[in-house]
Amino acid sequence: MNVAELTRQIEDKPAPEPLLAVQAFVNTLDVETDTDVLASPAEFKSWLVSSGLATRGIAVSGGDLRRSRELRNTMRALAAANAEGKVDRGASRRLQEHVGARSVPLTVDSDGCLELDLTPARSVEEFLSLMIGIAFRSQVEDQWRRLKLCRNDECRWAFFDSSRNRGGSWCRMEVCGNRIKNRLYRRRHHKRG
């Protein structure tokens, strides 16, 4: 995992390792700029390799791209539910389908304890399994609920809410937070006038 590259991609409010990798995967869809790293197998492969999440020899097919988009969209829906403090039953069912189709990569440390194997993936299926494993680990460590999507519908960027009360709503208060607050202010005053 290339932590410096993943942190650069996130820009602000990065998650701790290894959840950072899931955050970057969720953010491969940029709503604000209308760009999608999963637009083609070549673009996705380039992202995987430059992010240190896959080996240079990884092959990406159209089917791999489709399954990756499905898992990414499921994780985006779960992050959006985290932001709203709700449970998304549909996303939970879709995640169950992904979990049922994959095995989480594990390794054993020198003390005989199981750990998540963070070795760069040699296939897209290994990568998807790794994303599921990281999500599981972050849930065990009580970090998962802090991965949220910005509540600004024009943004929807994943951020890590490190606030004490877990009440963060925007990827960047000075940008998205102010936009929303100004919009609400204008609506209230427009209704009065």
Tens-digit pLDDT profile for the chain (193 aa)? 999 999 999 988 999 999 999 999 999 999 989 999 999 999 999 999 999 999 999 999 999 999 999 999 999 999 999 999 899 999 999 999 999 989 999 999 999 999 999 999 999 999 999 999 999 999 999 999 999 999 888 889 999 999 888 778 777 766 575 555 555 545 555 566 5
Residue 168 is classified by DSSP as -
When divided into structural domains, the chain yields a total of: 1
- The token pair at 154 is 């024009």
The reported pLDDT for the residue numbered 180 is: 53
Q: H/E/C letters for each residue in 101-127?
A: CCCCCEEECCCCCEEECCCCECCHHHH
Distance CA 86, CA 77 (A): 11
Decide the pairing of beta strands 158-160 and 147-149. antiparallel
Distance, in Å, from the CA atom of 10 to the CA atom of 15, rounded to the nearest integer, reads 9
* Whole-angstrom distance, CA of residue 63 vs CA of residue 50: 21
**Count of positions (residues) in the chain:** 193
pLDDT, position 69: 97
Q: How many CB atoms lie within 10 A of CB 143?
A: 17
DSSP string across 8-69: HHH-SSPPPTTHHHHHHHHTTEETTTTEEGGGSHHHHHHHHHHTTSB-TT----HHHHHHHH
What pLDDT, on a 0 to 100 scale, did the predictor assign at position 185?
Answer: 47
pTM (2 d.p.)? 0.88
**146: amino acid identity, one letter:** R
| CATH code of 77's domain | 1.10.3300
Domain that holds residue 109: 3-192
